Chain A
Amino acid sequence: MRLDGKGRVNRAEEVLFQFDGKYVRGYAGDTVASALLGKGERLMGRSFKYHRPRGPLTAGSEEPNALITVGSGAEQDPNVRATMQEIYDGLEVFSQNAWPSLKTDVMGINDLAAPFLGAGFYYKTFMWPKAFWEKLYEPIIRRAAGLGGLSGEAHPDDAERAFATCDVLVIGAGPAGLMAALTAAKSGASVILCDEQTEAGGRLLSETVDVDGKPGHVWAAEMVQTLRDLGVRIMTRTTITGVFDGGTYGALERVSHHLPNPSADLPRECFWRIHARGAVLAAGALERPIAHPMNDRPGVMLTSAMASYLNRWGVAPGKRIVLFTNNDSAHATAKDLADAGIDTTVIDARSGIAPSGDYLVHAGAKVINTRGHLGLRSVKVRQGTREWDIEADGLGLSGGWNPSVHLTCHMNGRPTWNPEIHAFVPTPGSVPGLEAAGAAMGNFSTHGALKSGIFRARKVLESLDLKPASIQTPVADDTPLGLAPLWAVDAPGRAWLDFQNDVTTKDVHQAAKENFQSVEHMKRYTTQGMATDQGKSSNVGALAVLAEATGRDIPGTGTTTFRPPYVPTAIGTMGAGAKGKGFAPERFTTSYANALQMGAPMIEAGLWYRPSYFPRTGEKTWRDACDREVNMVRDAVGVADVSTLGKIDIQGPDAAKLLDFVYINTFSTLKPGRVRYGVMLREDGFVMDDGTTACIAPDHYVMTTTTAAAGNVMKHLEFVTQALHPEWDVSIISTTEAWAQFSVAGPKARELINSLTDTQVDNDSFPFMACGAIDVLGVAGRLFRISFSGEHAYEVAVPARYGAALWRDLVARSELLGGGAYGMEALNVLRIEKGFVTHAEIMGRVTARDIGMGRMISAKKDCIGKAAASRPVLMASREELVGLRPVDPNTKIDAGGHLYNIGDRVHRETDQGYATSACYSPTLNTYMALAFVRDGTARLGERIRFVDRLRGVDAEVEICHPVFLDPEGGRARG
């Protein structure tokens, strides 16, 4: 029911949304909960276990009952709190966990069986037969107990991530937060002020309190303007979800959940990582209910929620209202309700309490029962020996206030029990650089909050070496709570503690009786606090009941901890920006676009995309294209983009020392104009990478690495030059992207190169393993005579901006010579035929000796990995690189197949080795593979059994030398 003249919603702007398919009218500024309550609709959900009818308990993000599903299809969001979802035209929301309808829920029958369904019921009952648990019991229980469901479709990737930094982060924009932000901003700090509500003000929006002689919400609005003028960044609809090491805070911003037609470039949510040098936690306090029998009916809510619905949304929480309290804060709400013309009665557990307004008080009384299935109808009260019913459609509970200590526990801090206010407060120092202020620190009065905000901000500023500005505390009420603890009412019937998980005082007593007396055990046995609200309104109450049941005090009973996130946060939002291209950025070579035009399928090589093969008309399979490209290179000339290989420019008087130290072989003897192949080890003696290094000029080298290891090798060189030999005068820089580099391979390679340049090369001026500057069609480039195919070959490099043009030119020229472009498949076949290794072979657990390069390790110098490579275990019998040829050349053998001696049983213990690379060789007309075989180099010519169970291959193969083609290397030198 709406009250005229109350609330901050815009009564001139009507909003139409749907709840369970029915249209509901609300006003701009309403939440789903306030709009439904405004229409007198109290029933909004069903509980998790007993399917009890429920209405909203709160008016905030801690809501346990009023959970709804927003939207449908792929965009369906389950378990949204109706108290947080703002309404807009066209919004569709649905109730959850009820079938066929919210009012007639078949599973409500669970409630009748409640006497049997207490804590531990499932554990005790569904023990036997064991196999039934997974297949029968659990699925049924899971279906019956539940929250909202997922759509099963991929959620649109519409969250964003963002980063921010500030000197002081203020969490919560109530009276304490506003004053903390003011103090920090006036002291010259950069300030971010976050609040999860739609506007700043906190409790000042929900209560009728004056600050500096003005209504609280007016004062708050003026203060917000002052803060904006001071440059404070105010982030509303933003919940700080977690605190992490070093002053890093996670924040969930609800960007467009409240907009009917959000612009396409707005994300739905944004996950912020805010780095703050200091922080003030002014998150306020959460009111706690009182556990009395049947305290869960729709219409029962926290007194503070009633104040919010009344003052902020202009909604009467009922026509006849009973408040049940043990402290003075409920009396302020009682006065507000009475002033709004609502029949209000306060049941105060304390004796000798008089009304402070036009309402009735029964002091020294308790609520002992309620009636009303789908909504509260009456409240049963006991005062001394007298018991009577009061007709009521609203019951407000006020058991005191729990400071929002949650964030102070995220770094393993535990809160401290404050016996004066009967609540846990943050333990100072729980989060380095963070101070709790206001109600979050237990200062519950408005004056106390304002003053505490200033004081705590000053402490933070001092720790940042900023001189705090002098700020006057505004005038406001400073009445203490006057709380007398009351956790549970001793009367027959079920009294709820955890509304969302249906945990009652009886369950906690039963846990204690069965010796689950540690708070952590009780929690797990009863599921107390394990629902999506993480027990925000129930944990302390349950702890108090456990303390009483076990004869301990509350601090002696302990407390469970709180972990991030503070509010339910979609994993997709936390991982925003880290899917697809955000997870793996794409790197493209200069020839990429042209390769696509030529119809080449692309394969991923790390983050790079490289052409697999270049199909031509009439070719049916990739093999057709691959075989043709291999023959093209062997018979004419092929061109391939090899720009993805890492290129590291090394310069300085000690450059050669660095190369000698990282490679197993010697580079200090390399002359300008020459290239040498090298192998580098990790310090543990295993091969890290291989590649060529060219000496461009004295003290100037260009190292190439494999595509896969480019980053690791760069990191390694940086480690060596900074950490192991900082005294060396040498500079290194990655130039991988700066140069486009193309392989030109085949008998006609030189003819092609000479067509590009005036600097004609021949075998004498530019022999195998030569390098030098070259003029490429007028562009200063580099030429290397190196070969990864075994053919007479060159690699020509030009600055990357000329790459695309040179590539097209090379393809055209090679085609005129009877060749063309070749892709990764052909490149792989060409190198397997020659026994050249890639990271398929040097995969991290082979030594230089294993790949036949043990003798390359220079005896004359130290190098990385040399000492460890000489360990006896690495010099003993090991699997060594060999070639494999199937006895029947048409038997297809693949990488991954394992080898066994003929006659042995196929078993892990008899394993002789495995194949790492395989292909069909159109040059030698046979399948072939590179493999590691135990003592393989001594077994050339031997026949062995090749077993590949995955592909169903079991065949005899012959162990051979890994260089299948041209072992003397004449083709490359010619």
Chain B
Amino acid sequence: MRITCPLCGDRDRREFYYMGHETYLNRPAADAPLPEWDAYLHLRDNPAGDTQELWQHEAGCGAWVVVTRNTVTHEVKGSELAETYPREART
């Protein structure tokens, strides 16, 4: 599997560390109700198709990257720096 690091280019996926769905970018407010925190920490969809997930180019530049990957075909369709990836509007 290959992932394109927006800074370093096309790389073997073994250079990357996998974290999980990009939900982790949308951290609830400190005083958000517990169910919201529960959803942030633990509740994930399990899509058959495209999903956005967080990887770190750990053995490279260290960039955190949001990778669009198809869970059925494993096709990696794109990647963006987590730094500039659009966040969900906080309620």
Contact = CB atoms under 8 A, between A and B. Distances in A.
Interface of A: 163, 244-248, 273, 275, 411, 432, 683-684, 715, 718-719, 722-724, 726, 862, 866-868, 871
A867 B54 contact: no
11 contacts: A163-B12, A245-B1, A248-B1, A248-B2, A718-B62, A722-B64, A722-B82, A722-B83, A723-B24, A726-B82, A867-B32
B2 to A, nearest CB: 3
Nearest to B72: A412
A683 B12 contact: no
Nearest to B69: A245
Contacts of A246: 1-3, 13, 74, 76
A715 B17 CA distance: 9
A114 B77 CA distance: 55
A719 B56 contact: yes
Nearest to A725: B27
B41 A684 contact: yes
Given A245-B74, A867-B30, A723 B12 contact: no
Contacts of A683: 27, 41
A246 B13 CA distance: 9
A273 B75 CA distance: 18
Given A248-B2, A432-B75, A726 B13 contact: no
3 closest A-B pairs by beta carbon, nearest first, are A246-B2, A862-B30, A245-B1
A120 B2 CA distance: 44
Contacts of A723: 24-25, 54, 64, 82-83
B62 to A, nearest CB: 5
Contacts of B56: 715, 718-719
A345 B34 CA distance: 85
A111 B54 CA distance: 60
A349 to B, nearest CB: 43
Given A245-B2, A432-B75, A722 B63 contact: yes
B84 to A, nearest CB: 7
Contacts of B27: 683, 724
B9 to A, nearest CB: 11
Nearest to B13: A246
Interface string B4-40: 0000001011000101000011011010101001000
Nearest to A724: B27
B25 to A, nearest CB: 6
Nearest to B29: A862
A867 B64 contact: no
Nearest to A867: B37
Interface residues of B, number: 30
A719 B62 CA distance: 9
Contacts of A719: 19, 56, 64
Q: Is the interface of B mostly helix, strand, loop or mixed?
A: mixed
Contacts of B54: 723
Nearest to A722: B64
A411 B76 CA distance: 14
Given A715-B56, A723-B64, A868 B1 contact: no
Nearest to A723: B82
B12 A248 contact: yes
A247 B12 CA distance: 10
Nearest to B81: A722
A838 B2 CA distance: 38
Given A246-B13, A862-B30, A867-B34, 20 more contacts: A245-B2, A245-B74, A245-B75, A246-B1, A246-B3, A246-B76, A247-B2, A248-B2, A684-B41, A715-B17, A715-B56, A715-B58, A719-B64, A722-B64, A722-B81, A724-B27, A726-B82, A726-B84, A868-B41, A871-B34
B11 to A, nearest CB: 9
Interface string B52-91: 0010101000111000000000111000011110000000
A244 B24 contact: no
Contacts of B76: 245-246
Contacts of A247: 2
Contacts of A245: 1-2, 13, 74-76
Contacts of A163: 12
Tell me which of A411, A715, A719, A723 has the highest count of chain B C-beta atoms within 10 A of its own C-beta: A723
Nearest to B33: A867
B2 A275 contact: yes
Tell me which of A246, A718, A862 has the highest count of chain B C-beta atoms within 10 A of its own C-beta: A246
A245 B58 CA distance: 20
Nearest to A872: B34
Contacts of A411: 74
B46 to A, nearest CB: 19
A715 B55 CA distance: 11
A718 B65 CA distance: 11
Nearest to B32: A867
A875 to B, nearest CB: 12
Nearest to A163: B12
Nearest to A732: B62
Contacts of A868: 37, 41
Contacts of B84: 726
A867 B82 contact: no
A244 B64 contact: no
Contacts of A248: 1-2, 12
Contacts of A275: 2, 10, 12
A247 B24 CA distance: 30
B87 to A, nearest CB: 10
A862 B83 CA distance: 21
A868 B32 CA distance: 11
Contacts of A715: 17, 56, 58
Contact of B25 (A724, A867, A871): A724
A862 to B, nearest CB: 4
A683 B37 CA distance: 10
Contacts of B62: 718
A715 B76 CA distance: 23
Nearest to A733: B62
B80 to A, nearest CB: 12
A809 B13 CA distance: 46
Contacts of B10: 275
A152 B12 CA distance: 35
A866 to B, nearest CB: 7
Contacts of B17: 715
A285 B17 CA distance: 41
Contacts of B37: 867-868
A867 B58 contact: no
A432 B34 CA distance: 44
A730 to B, nearest CB: 13
Nearest to B27: A724
Nearest to A862: B30
Contacts of B13: 245-246
Nearest to B57: A718
Contacts of A867: 28, 30, 32, 34, 37
Nearest to B74: A245
Contacts of B58: 715
A248 B76 CA distance: 13
A563 to B, nearest CB: 15
A882 B28 CA distance: 34
A247 B63 CA distance: 23
Contacts of A273: 12
Nearest to B11: A275
